[in-house]
A and B are shown apart, each in its own frame.
Chain A
Amino acid sequence: MALDRRAVVAELLRDPGDTPGGELLVVTGLGSSTYDAGAAGDRPENFYLWGAMGGAAMIGLGLAIAQPTRRVLVITGDGEALMGMGALSTIAAKRLPNLAIVVLDNAQFGETGHQASHTGLGTDLAAVAAGCGWANSCTVTAWEDIPALRARVRQEAVFAVVKISAAEVPRFLPIRDGARLTARFRDALGLPVD
């Protein structure tokens, strides 16, 4: 049975301070991934995308380069990951140890009416990532494997596709003011507002 996205994200983000280097830094892709992370518990170290589709993974890269002692986790959906698929090559080429990506894959564009996405039509994103050079690429389908994934994303440069149910979940709408999200994220890192 496909996994419940809210439960998966809640487990991945459980005790975010329990991360080597300090609070886990989280970037979420446009759409349901943003709602899932917000529902798991709003915090300044969550940077939610409400647009910029295809950009989540690359934001993670810029952040991981800038904060080499911190762990960065990108959580996004199959549609958002597909739009920025080239980023899998770009990121793999940098071989950063502190960036992990989790793709919540329901094989649908859930936000726009549940149209089938490419992952339901033949594209295997974990294989794509492996082909781009990700050494640790996997697909997770069983709930029993989620706690282990929670540990891995805080320790390894892993690319994981998690197969989730396409069932509707209640809307949860976190902050969407980008300037505010940016300011509080930088504040949490102790960076100046410049």
Chain B
Amino acid sequence: MTEQSWQDGVYAALKAAGVAQIGYVPDAGHARLIERAHADNDMAAVVLTTEEEGIALSAGAYLGGQRTALLMQSSGVGNCINMLSLPINCRMPFFTIITMRGEWGEFNPWQVPMGSATEAVLKAAGVHVRRADRADEVVDVVAASAKFAFDSCIPVAVLLSQRLIGAKVWVK
């Protein structure tokens, strides 16, 4: 499955889950989803200055009856920790898709500390974590995890592994 085709599959899964708002801090691994969201008149695409804004966006959307997905990379997870008290205290769904850095052929050592801590930190903060490593499983993992978040009204993160996304190429 090509990168574009599984990303389109992920977008379709978000639509099927009823997602109407997408907040994002850009990452190359989310580029296709961001492009699709902006092209979709029925989707509000919100570019954020920092990742925790997306958690508050999601909470407000839920108060108003809409579902949200937050797209970020693993380096942004550390920015989110205190804001996660919002969906947890308010018993709201929260759904995020996180592209992993610092774990597979990483060139940039500054990505490694947060990448290594991402899963443990999310779990410690009360988020249910699922992971997709292969192109042939990613759409199913996203669909089931979104359903899990919205139907059970809990915070859920899907980690897209760096192996799946492809390590960033620095030498052209």
Contacts and interface: CB of A to CB of B under 8 A. Distances in A.
Contacts of A22: none
Contacts of B91: 178-179, 182
Interface string B86-104: 1001111000000000000
Interface of A: 25, 27, 47, 49, 51-67, 70, 84, 86-87, 89-90, 93-94, 178-179, 181-182, 185-186, 189, 191, 194
Q: Return the 3 tightest CB-CB contacts between A and B, nearest first.
A: A62-B60, A66-B64, A86-B49
Interface string B17-56: 0001100000000000000000000001011111011111
Interface string B47-73: 111101111111111111110100000
Given A63-B63, A90-B46, A194 B86 contact: no
A27 B61 CA distance: 12
B49 A59 contact: no
Contacts, number: 123
Given A62-B58, A90-B49, A182-B62, 16 more contacts: A49-B86, A52-B55, A55-B55, A59-B63, A61-B57, A61-B60, A62-B61, A66-B60, A66-B65, A90-B47, A90-B53, A94-B44, A178-B90, A186-B62, A186-B65, A191-B64
Contacts of A178: 86, 89-91
A53 B86 CA distance: 10
A59 B85 contact: no
A102 B17 CA distance: 34
A93 to B, nearest CB: 7
Interface residues of B, number: 35
A22 to B, nearest CB: 13
A86 B53 contact: yes
B143 to A, nearest CB: 18
A52 B48 CA distance: 17
Given A51-B86, A86-B49, A181-B90, A66 B61 contact: yes
A63 B60 contact: yes
B48 A51 contact: no
A137 B50 CA distance: 23
A167 B150 CA distance: 44
B65 A189 contact: yes
Nearest to B89: A178
B153 interface: yes
7 contacts: A51-B85, A58-B60, A70-B64, A86-B53, A90-B49, A189-B64, A194-B153
B21 A62 contact: yes
B108 interface: no
Contacts of B86: 49, 51-52, 55, 59, 178
A47 B153 contact: no
Contacts of A179: 89-91
B83 interface: yes
A89 B153 CA distance: 29
Contact of A62 (B59, B89, B90): B59
Given A61-B57, A63-B60, A84-B53, A90 B65 contact: no
